[in-house]
A and B are shown apart, each in its own frame.
Chain A
């Protein structure tokens, strides 16, 4: 095989592995956070607005981890030659 085709193959494999494994952790984290907020809202329904305010910020922080994986994938796809 030509070297450029080989490089593209490995790039595709690397991108798939990077986004797949990188999204795993934030998915677990978001699941745990959603579980906890649902439990606490079920226990105290009147404090829903107060709790969900912090949940959105936490979700933004957790989501950033998945975005880092996406950033690495973008770097592999467009910057690496």
Chain B
């Protein structure tokens, strides 16, 4: 079995390459968020029912996160919440057994293991915090490029490029590395259980009591349990990476808005 990394199911649309697998899972994630949001606000009540309570908790969390922003708070809180929900649902979607669905070239996985998607999010964050800075300070926002002394200007301009780059790469690489680790551990057992190895196991360790096909199947079953702890760790990583992306975004917005 070979590993396929970074291969996508490409469709041509208006002369552009479209990664269909990323698109399918991304729209699935958006559909899930939309479904639960509509479910939460469908019968809105002063005494919240269960799902409305969950959404109120989430909104309260992000309102608390952006309380330093003053009168720019409302929209930033909503944008941060949207980014967080989209990233965490996309990350967790990759843990479903989507590999069972076979596509021609490329596999369904979480949409965040495509660099194009995370880069689009990061560029959106860049545009958004520059917009917020200009909206709150006017043209004097651009004064921060020469802020401590004039020869720091190249570094300040470079910062605007490194911020989206690290945001995009961190999320993309974490999710991709997790999926590769799980895949490597899954492939490992089929690489170890060669017919010779199965024969040796059956004759030396089980003394020929069990037939070789049984030994092979038991080995495959035990080997398929091998990536299980890593999968639990991936659930944790999915949450942490969504949180890190959101917190860094809020820090960038705050540094663009704050007055000296």
The interface of chain A, by Cβ under 8 A from chain B, is 56-57, 59-61, 63-64, 67-68, 70-71, 74, 78-79
Contact = CB atoms under 8 A, between A and B. Distances in A.
A70 B177 contact: yes
A60 B243 contact: yes
A9 B211 CA distance: 40
Contacts of B241: 60
A61 B173 CA distance: 12
B82 interface: no
A61 B244 contact: yes
Contacts of A71: 169, 173, 176-177
Interface of B: 3, 5-6, 169-170, 173-174, 176-177, 180, 237, 240-241, 243-244, 247
B243 A70 contact: no
**Chain B contact residues, majority secondary structure:** helix
Say whether chain A's binding surface is mostly helix, strand, loop, or mixed.
helix
B3 A67 contact: no
Nearest to B242: A60
Nearest to A61: B244
5 contacts: A56-B240, A57-B243, A59-B240, A60-B243, A61-B170
A62 to B, nearest CB: 11
B105 to A, nearest CB: 15
A44 B117 CA distance: 42
Nearest to A79: B6
Contacts of B3: 78
Contacts of B244: 57, 60-61, 64
A68 B6 CA distance: 16
Contacts of B243: 57, 60
Given A57-B247, A71-B173, A78 B5 contact: yes
